[in-house]
Amino acid sequence: MSRDPGRLDLLFRAHRVITPAGEQPAAVGVQDGRIVAVEPLDVALEADRIVALNEDEVLIPGLVDTHVHINEPGRTAWEGFSTATRAAAAGGVTTVIDMPLNSIPPTTDLAALDVKRTAADSKVHVDVGFWGGAVPDNLGALAALHDAGVFGFKCFLVPSGVDEFPHLSTSELAAALTELQRLDALMIVHAEDCDVIEHAPAPHGRGYADFLASRPASAEDTAVETLAGLLRQTGARGHVLHLSSAAALPVLAAARNDGVRLSAETCPHYLALSAEEVPAGATEFKCCPPIRNAANRDELWAALQGGSIDCVVSDHSPCTADLKCLDSGDFAQAWGGIASLQLGLPVVWTQARERGVELAEVVRWMATAPSDLVGLHRKGRIEVGVDADLVRFAPDDHWVVDADRLHHRNPVTPYAGRTLRGAVRRTWLRGAEVTGSAPTGRLLTRGN
């Protein structure tokens, strides 16, 4: 018996749906993994399955996280594709773009990209794409990586923390940007100035203030200014990763006003945490660039709301518990990185609602804007023609973070014991519910 072509595979009915036009009641129809209808709530549509959201739930697009360190292969004990993508789905994230480090080998040539894709194949519970890396010795490899479909290239302006991914000097950055301008490829930059950090006090011991002094805001400000100047010279596209220093915002604004193609992101930890609240020895708070003071955090929020910062992504950067030096609490020795892939949405939403920010804005920062950054326009929104990546979200739910219930491989988190608002109740990838049992994610390439 032939199937009725007018009958949908799946139909969502919700009094609250976040669409590009804002929040509204709607019926969202899905066929063959794509959204094919966004209609008034009570419109007559036939479907094999109907999902009616409760009054306390909102249908939102799956989040797009363009800054995730999965680390497999080579450092799979830190994180792996299976665990990371299950954590992503549990947090309402349906697309991640994996960073070119800290895996071994790093994704700095075609052979390494093949190794990475092989490692990920058949393990991912959400869709996964890959960044390439720009390091001092791989200028000639960038074009081939670009042709192979990486979403752009990451570089560091300070030591990355792993020897196999060295940082670029200013002249090497200029050469790489010249090549990427030719390719019209995006350079994403860990923007801290090497010279400023070398002349800052060395970190030592359990005091957070001492660690913070070792990564001063001026290191970010100087690096952003260097990047903006080289983008002006080369005409390339650039993106500032994990911006923590609000003092760099005027440099970003001036560059944009001059027509420089420069965007920026920040992260949940910079929007939710502050230096004043970090206890001595609490190395689970360590990240680079660091969490700064509460006044700086407020300025980041103002910049987000004003459009100076484009998006919010996790910088999920996990490691094994021993590398966090939780026993000694030594900030100098601990690995710098915060694992928050599963928690990003409720962390940001908890802060946003206290500041009177609408959920639609949070969705734009965490779904639509990151998808636009990497050219995945069929992700991160609820409209006809895009992938049916959808999340059943209860914005008024409150719950306490239990690290043992997190899905990423090493559940070390500065959010343990915190009460958060907003719970992800279900996640769908291309119209199929993500259960965590059978991986159904795909490996993405730029433009597909």
* DSSP character string of 251-275: HHHHHHHTT--EEEEE-HHHHH--G
pLDDT in tens, 58-84: 999 999 999 999 999 999 999 999 999
> pTM of the full predicted structure?
0.97
Q: What is the maximal distance between C-alpha atoms in the chain?
A: 75
Q: Which residues 6+ apart lie within 8 Å of 240 measured at CB?
A: 189, 191, 224, 227, 248, 252, 262, 263, 264, 265
Question: What's the distance, CA 233 to chain centroid?
Answer: 28
Q: Which of these CATH numbers, 3.40.50.300, 3.90.1150.10, 3.20.20.140, 3.40.50.720, describes 62-381+395-419?
A: 3.20.20.140
Task: Please name which of 385, 404, 395, 405 lies closest in space to residue 19, comparing C-alpha atoms.
Answer: 385
In the structure, what pLDDT confidence band is assigned to residue 447 with cuts at 50, 70 and 90? Answer: confident
Instruction: Report the C-alpha gap between 298 and 354 in whole angstroms.
Output: 12
| pLDDT at residue 4 in the model | 53
Tokens at 327, concatenated: 């026993």
Residue 17 has pLDDT above 50, yes or no: yes
| pLDDT at residue 315 in the model | 98
Instruction: Report the C-alpha gap between 397 and 405 in whole angstroms.
Output: 17
Residue 180 has pLDDT above 70, yes or no: yes
Residue 89 has pLDDT above 80, yes or no: yes
Q: To the nearest whole percent, how much of the chain has pLDDT over 90?
A: 98
Q: Cα dist. 337→70, 287, 290, 314, 383 in Å?
A: 12, 4, 9, 10, 35
The DSSP code sequence of 218-231 is HHHHHHHHHHHHHH
User: Residue ranges per domain, the chain?
Assistant: 62-381+395-419
Instruction: Report the C-alpha gap between 426 and 393 in whole angstroms.
Output: 7
Residue 1 has pLDDT above 60, yes or no: no
